[in-house]
Amino acid sequence: MVRLTGPEAAVLRAASRLGELVQPTDATDFVAVGTAIFAGALFGAVVAVPVGSVTVTIGTSVGALLAGIVTGHIRAHRPLFGRVPDSAVKFMQSFGLTGFVAMVGLGAGPHFLPAVRESGLGLLFGGVVVTMVPLMAGLWFGRKVLKINPILLLGAISGAQTFTAGLAALQEKSGSAIAVIGYSGSVAIAHVFLTTYGAASSSC
C-alpha cells in the first residue's frame, strides 16, 4: 500500500497507473466481519473428530478466531475489504474483556461461597496452586529454554488456559495484536484436551 499526497487530480492520475484506489474511511466492513464470524463459528461447531468414545470439536470461539486470522491474512494482501478502524477494534477488545469477566463472575458467584463452606479455604488455595504452578513453569520453560518472545509466550499461555480475557488484556497493555499468534495455536490444543478430559471426568 502506498500513500499519495498532493492535488486530487494528480493523485487520481497516479492511482490509475499504480493500482486500485483505497478510499480513506472510518466505516466498518460489517459484511466481511459478519461473514467471517459466521463461517468460523459454523466451522467450529460442525467439524468434529471422533477420539474413541469421545467426539472432539474445536468450538465456535476457536473457529471464529481462525476465521479472523484467515481474513486478516487476506486483507494484508488485498486491503480493499474487511476494514475495521483501530478505534472499533480497541472498543471491542475492551468491551469483550469486561463482558467476559462479568459473565465468569455471574456464573461462578452462586457456587463459590457454598463450595468454600463445604470444602473450606483449602479448595481456594488448592485452586490457586493448581492454576499458578503450570503458568510459572510454562513461563520459565518458554523463556529460559525455548527463548520465546515474551509477548508471544504470554499469548500462548493465555491460549493454554483458554483465557480469552488474558489475551485481550495482553493486547491492550502491549499495544499490539502479535500475541494472537501464540494464542491461536495453543488454544486449539487446549480446547481439545479440555473437551476430552472434561467429558472423561464427567463420565466417570
Query: Hey, where are the domains in the chain?
Result: 1-84, 85-204
Q: What residues are paired with 50 via a beta bridge?
A: 55
Distance separating alpha carbons of residues 157 and 190, to the nearest angstrom: 10
Q: How many CB atoms lie within 10 A of CB 172?
A: 13
Distance separating alpha carbons of residues 176 and 170, to the nearest angstrom: 8
C-alpha cell at 119: 470444602
Buried b (16+ CB within 10 A) or exposed e, 117-128: eeeeeeeeeeee
Quick: pLDDT tens for 13-56. Answer: 887 788 777 766 677 888 888 898 899 889 888 887 777 777 77
C-alpha cell at 111: 457456587
Quick: pLDDT tens for 119-146. Answer: 777 777 888 888 889 889 999 999 999 9
Q: Is the pTM of this model over 0.85?
A: no
Question: What pLDDT is recorded for position 135?
Answer: 87
| 54 φ/ψ angles, rounded to the nearest 5 degrees | -115, 135
Beta strands in the chain (DSSP E): 48-51, 54-57
Res. 199: pLDDT tops 50: no
Res. 202: pLDDT tops 70: no
**Grid cell 502506498 in the structure block, residue:** 2
Quick: pLDDT tens for 68-87. Answer: 888 888 887 877 777 887 77
Residue 62 CB-density burial (10 A; 0-12 exposed, 13-18 middle, 19+ buried): buried
Buried b (16+ CB within 10 A) or exposed e, 27-59: ebbeebbeebbebbbebbeeeeeeeeeeebbbb
Q: What average pLDDT score do residues 92-111 get? A: 75
Nearest to 60 by CA among 170, 156, 162: 162
